[in-house]
Structure 1
Amino acid sequence: MRTDAATTVFNLPGYRVTSAEVLACGQRRIRVESVLEAGCRGCGVISARRHSRRLQRVRDIRVAGPVEVIWSKRRFFCDEPECGRKTFAESTPQVPAYSRSTARLRQALTEAVIGSGRAASETATAFGVSWWLVQRALDAAVLKLPDVDSLAPVRLGIDEHRFRSVRFFQDPATKAWTRYEPWMSTLVDLDTGQVLGVVDGRDSTGVGDWLKARPLGWRLGVQVVAIDPSAAFRKALRMWLPRTAVSVDAFHLSMLANAMVTEVRQRLCQEAKGRRGRATDPVWANRRLLLKGAERLSDRGRNRLQVVFAVDDSTGGLQAVWDVKEQLRTLLRTGSIADATAAKAELGRLVDRAGQPEARRLYRTVCRWWNEIEVLIVTGATTAKVEANNTAIKNIKRTGRGFVNNTNYKTRILLRSAARTAA
């Protein structure tokens, strides 16, 4: 059927434009009516015997500016004698029963928030609707996401991020203040990069309850899980994924080594000079070079480090722990268990030679996580895609100026991840 020009331009599926006018305020008013057959919601029988007609205002997207849409909505008689519903109002895929906005408007709102990264309040203002409508559109979109239990991830990644800023609460009875850090843990499919779940806290309870809720076949299908050196995550995995190999992330181990070098540098400076480092001290001026990988140093950088060790490291302890740090990085880059075992033995020798308590603590951590390090060397599973999602989560928080409701916060995360994964 050939449609008129106004209906073609307005392009609302299932409707045709009957009239258009410009109001005194300059806004346009478009009157439409449905061209689809109407079926009874009780029995499904198609009826053409009209009972009455009424006008309903419908919220819709802007078409070259704001538009007021008036739907001439019909009510029909139900001609099925056995049906208890005598009359019914028509509904369409664009405007279902009890709806006051079009499906294309709800889709546009969802795409604006998730696809374009706009804040919900800013999107509501731009489309001329309420914040609640935007949130309802997002909640409806979450229900359409694939069920996590229907997915079959082989490799998982788990990491935590802070939901909101640190807060302090006072007990009315004791007047004691308690520090509260609202953390959340993210579970990601390492093959697709999609966020599968977001749970409260960063302890074994939250992650364990989420894994417990998954079907047995789902859990048996997971082969490798990558985590940071978190005893809480490892406890949950040992309980609910006992047959799954656990890999510890190399980046987090390298961070522990860098933190060890920094602690030793600060302690040695206090012991030798009785104060913290200053800009005139070579060891403080080159503190960032100490944390840089040896293979990434330029000739100038190596010369500067040699000056630091020769001039501002009288005990030799700083160079010793720097060697420990580099040996750990070498260990993490090995490609076989045999090479890793040899590198571990060399790491132990360097730790003994350094004689620093911070280096011994780092070595104990390596020993406690040695099984997970072996899995890392064999599988190469890291939390890189989890960290990438955490960066996107930070952008979501920044765009939304923070979130008070953690359910809405999780909705944004899941929808954004699903949209990026599908793209």
Structure 2
Amino acid sequence: MLPLRNGAKLSRAGMRWAVEALVIDHLTVSRVTAGLGVSWHTANNAVLAEGRRVLIDDPARFDGVGVIGVDEHVWRHTRLGDKYVTVIIDLTPVRDKTGPSRLLDMVEGRSKVVLKSWLAGRPRAWRDGVEVVAMDGFTGFKTAAAEELPKATAVMDPFHVVRLAGDALDVCRRRVQQHLHGRRGRRSDPLYKARRTLHTGAGLLTDRQRARLEALFADEEHVEVEARSSGRRPCRP
């Protein structure tokens, strides 16, 4: 039995079921509460305690980390603004093709100070073993990594590379649309109709989509979009 702070107890089998129900089956705490026959706070405290025991307090979870990924995540929307957490994951298994990435930690906030403090809390030997840091274009993360992981190479992760390239393509398309027609795109406009097709990887295009792009690029007025797209589409996984 697992004693909890409020005096209630849960069996290890019940605790395992609760964690699997939340993580794998995506049940709510309320549904888990009903299944276990305990109060909401009892179930929630038990899951948090087990998660800390299995994940956070596991001394081996930082072993063998050579590549890390850093990104922010909005965990709550409020009237005063979004609430962020900084997410740090281990990408070493992905690089070595030995398995999926692993969650290392989540820290409240999104800033240079948040990441720098987290990195500074790791042993020097661990920091020296990190070879690559993948992140988005946020300057705060890049600066923190440069200061605390001087031996690591900072790169932009593929997701953000593709997104930035796609954003640049959209800006180009809208600019050409405005120049040619003096207005935003409409359903009948070739550039507007092809907006989603332009974001499709070259190897994923259907025959119909290829024909649409060929017709679009046959017009010399669309050459700027074609030039931007030709550098964009092969990058899409």
Q: Secondary structure of 1:254's match? A: helix
Q: Deviations over 1:304-330 (max 9, x none)?
A: 11211234x526322222234357x3x
Q: Check 1:109–1:148 CA distance in 2 against 1; reply closer, same or farther (3 A cut).
A: closer
How many residue pairs are counted as aligned between the two chains? Answer: 226
* Identity percentage of aligned residues: 30
TM alignment of 1:103-252, pairs within 5 A:
103-104=11-12, 105-145=14-54, 147=57, 150=60, 151-152=62-63, 153-165=65-77, 167-169=78-80, 180-190=81-91, 191=93, 193-252=101-160
Please report the RMSD computed on the Cα atoms of aligned residues, expressed in angstroms: 2.8
Find the aligned partners of 2:175 and 2:83 in 1 and give their Cα distance. Answer: 32
Match of 1:286 among 194, 202, 210: 194
Q: Secondary structure of 2:187's match? A: coil
Find the aligned partners of 2:159 and 2:193 in 1 and give their Cα distance. Answer: 25
TM alignment of 1:17-416, pairs within 5 A:
99-104=7-12, 105-145=14-54, 147=57, 150=60, 151-152=62-63, 153-165=65-77, 167-169=78-80, 180-190=81-91, 191=93, 193-311=101-219, 314=221, 316-326=223-233, 329=235
TM (norm. structure 2) is 0.82
Q: Secondary structure of 1:256's match? A: helix
Find the aligned partners of 2:5 and 2:72 in 1 and give their Cα distance. Answer: 42
Find the aligned partners of 1:281 and 1:196 in 2 and give their Cα distance. Answer: 47
Q: Check 1:310–1:103 CA distance in 2 against 1; reply closer, same or farther (3 A cut).
A: same
Bigger share in helix: 2
Between Structure 1 and Structure 2, whose CA radius of gyration is higher? Answer: 1
1:194 deviates by 2.0
Find the aligned partners of 1:230 and 1:159 in 2 and give their Cα distance. Answer: 9
Q: Deviations over 1:186-233 (max 9, x none)?
A: 111112522111012332111111111111122122222222233222
CA contact (8 A) 1:229 1:253 kept: no
CA contact (8 A) 1:265 1:318 kept: yes
Question: Which amino acid in the other structure matches residue 82 of structure 2?
Answer: E
Find the aligned partners of 1:321 and 1:134 in 2 and give their Cα distance. Answer: 53
TM (norm. structure 1) is 0.48
Find the aligned partners of 1:235 and 1:159 in 2 and give their Cα distance. Answer: 14
Ranges in structure 2 where 5+ consecutive residues have no aligned partner: 94-99
Per chain length, whose mean CA-contact separation is higher, i.e. which structure has more relative contact order (CA < 8 Å, sep 6+)?
Answer: 1
